[in-house]
Amino acid sequence: MDFSATVILAGLIVALLWLFRVKNKSNYKLPPGPTALPVIGNLPQLQKDAPFKSFFKFSETYGPVMTFYLGWQRTIVLVGYDAVKEALVDQADDFTGRGPLPFLMKATKGYGLGISNGERWRQLRRFTLTTLRDFGMGRKGMEEWIQEESTHLRARIDTFKAKPFDPTFLLSCTVSNVICALVFGERFDYDDKQFLNLLSIIADVLRFNSSPKGQMYNVFPWLMEHLPGQQHKVFAQIEELRGFVKTKIQEHKETLDPSSPRDFIDCFLIRMNQEKDIPTSEFQFENLVATVLNLFLAGTETTSSTIRYALSVLIKYPSIQEKMQQEIDTVIGQNRGPNMEDRKSLPFTDAVIHEVQRFLDIVPLSLPHYALQDVSFRGYTIPKDTIIIPLLHSVLKEEKQWETPWSFNPKHFLDQNGNFSKNPAFLPFSAGKRACVGESLARMELFIFMVSLLQRFNFSCTEGPDSINLVPEFSGFANLPRRDLIIATTR
């Protein structure tokens, strides 16, 4: 048999397998969706640099609950606030599963809080939430760590003496230091070469995950493993991160005082020791390494990118910047730093920070959920082992939830009297039992860092407000803002 005949035969076999698989599932009442091709599924129909936009568009034809095939993988996409809330909050127990994303599975070896399910997820989430919440146990509470870090940030910005600079790495250092204080019990100097290298790796990992190649890895991991490309460099970098975390854990083991835990790692090591004879305990070394990685990766780039985007927004709209400063000057003045109690008295400032998060829409696809068993939802069946994407993009930009969803508008979070007003469709951290564990920490960071920066500086850029482009530079797993050179002039 010649080569071309072999290829045709192989193609027919694959197509028949595909048809058999799809027919085999026809006893399920699946949600509607566009016709899928063998092997590659619906991939050609999706915008490769912003797939979430394609899902949003398809919902106009197929409604708020749709079926897609990303390669072989059946995927249900939930669109709009009502469908997302109904799944993640009203049917929370059915939607607690986390999809085994190949990239994260390889990076964490299947351990840790982010990718786990069942008992492992329950134990690690409960512990992580409690430790984050109770973190008054160390030298300082989290609020004080953030306030102290904001003084380091302002001092470093002062050194630029109103000359243009790229704040990307500086903001990464600042936000990451809060996570480092929580996890490692220490902060790093902004010039620490090892620290800067780790932050560079985190940025590379997120950028790769948001690229078409990164998304392709999650669809065809077996193929990407055998092809040359950036994925191999990224996994080597992740090993570097793992090595750093393991070294820190070893240092903690050698200096551990069980009666006086300093940080997250200490608390975990103490729990490991307490439960070493319990066979069902998930407090083991690999789960510690992976959970620290989860916190480090998730807690650095998302919050620092949001602050960077906020500064671009304020340069683009100087009248908003001025109005925030007037409110801050009236309530706090310029002599003392902000605290979380001040938030109640700064409704406009709070509204702008919320609108920055809504407008940036940093994780448009959320982290995928997973059907751990067959799930009934809105008259459909979602079969076991199906990926579920709650499209946060569609919630944050839904026309019936927001007056002007495609414009930056702080009034989305203000009532007629100018008081702060919550909107239930504000879900940048997702919702339900798998909502972001660091939500309260991120909210605290955004508020304290932004207010302390506006107390001290006016922000502008050389080319003027019109040169600022608020459309993200990369869109995929995350919406990553453009890198603008900014000027910070002391007030």
Question: Regarding beta strands 73-79 and 387-391, do their DSSP bridges make them parallel or antiparallel, or are they unpaired?
Answer: parallel
Q: What pTM was computed for the model?
A: 0.91
Beta bridge partners of 420: 414
Query: Rounded to whole angstroms, how far apart are CA atoms 222 and 209?
Result: 17
Question: Token pair of 197, please?
Answer: 């290298």
pLDDT in tens, 249-284: 999 999 999 999 989 999 999 999 999 999 999 999
In this structure, what DSSP letter does residue 418 have? S
What's the distance, Cα to Cα, between the start and end of the chain in Å? 79
Largest CA distance in the chain: 84
- 188: pLDDT strictly greater than 80: yes
Question: Token pair of 325, please?
Answer: 């400063």
* Whether the Cβ atoms of residue 178 and residue 441 lie closer than 8 Å to each other: yes
pLDDT of 342: 96
Say which residues have a Cβ less than 8 Å from residue 485's Cβ, sequence separation at least 6: 164, 165, 166, 461, 462
* Whether the Cβ atoms of residue 486 and residue 167 lie closer than 8 Å to each other: yes
pLDDT in tens, 401-428: 999 999 999 999 999 999 999 999 999 9
3-class SS of residue 370: strand
Query: Rounded to whole angstroms, how far apart are CA atoms 146 and 438?
Result: 14
pLDDT of 21: 54
Query: Rounded to whole angstroms, how far apart are CA atoms 292 and 252?
Result: 13
pLDDT in tens, 299-335: 888 999 999 999 999 999 999 999 999 999 999 998 8
3-class SS of residue 189: coil
Altogether, the residues listed in the chain come to a count of 491
Question: Regarding beta strands 380-382 and 474-475, do their DSSP bridges make them parallel or antiparallel, or are they unpaired?
Answer: unpaired
pLDDT of 138: 42
pLDDT of 13: 61
Question: What is 438-469 written as a DSSP string?
Answer: THHHHHHHHHHHHHHHHHHEEEE-TT-GGG--
* Whether the Cβ atoms of residue 371 and residue 360 lie closer than 8 Å to each other: no
pLDDT of 6: 56
In this structure, what DSSP letter does residue 327 have? H
pLDDT of 137: 41
Query: Rounded to whole angstroms, how far apart are CA atoms 21 and 36?
Result: 12
pLDDT above 70 coverage of the chain, percent: 93
Q: Convert 316-337 to b/e letters by CB count within 10 Å (16 or more is b).
A: bbeebbeebbebbeeebeeeeb
Q: What Cα–Cα distance (Å) separates residue 272 from each residue in 36, 85, 279, 281, 432?
A: 47, 36, 11, 8, 28
Query: Rounded to whole angstroms, how far apart are CA atoms 409 and 298?
Result: 27
Mean pLDDT of 137-151: 79
Query: Rounded to whole angstroms, how far apart are CA atoms 275 and 264?
Result: 17
Mean pLDDT computed over every residue of the chain: 91
pLDDT of 2: 55
Mean pLDDT of 60-72: 95
pLDDT in tens, 200-214: 998 888 888 888 888
* Whether the Cβ atoms of residue 193 and residue 166 lie closer than 8 Å to each other: no
User: Of 266, 307, 240, 271, nearest to 181 (Cα)?
Assistant: 266
Query: Rounded to whole angstroms, how far apart are CA atoms 295 and 159?
Result: 30
Domains plus CATH for the chain?
Answer: 100-349+396-490 (1.10.630.10)
The pLDDT confidence band at residue 229, using thresholds 50, 70 and 90, is: confident
pLDDT of 301: 86
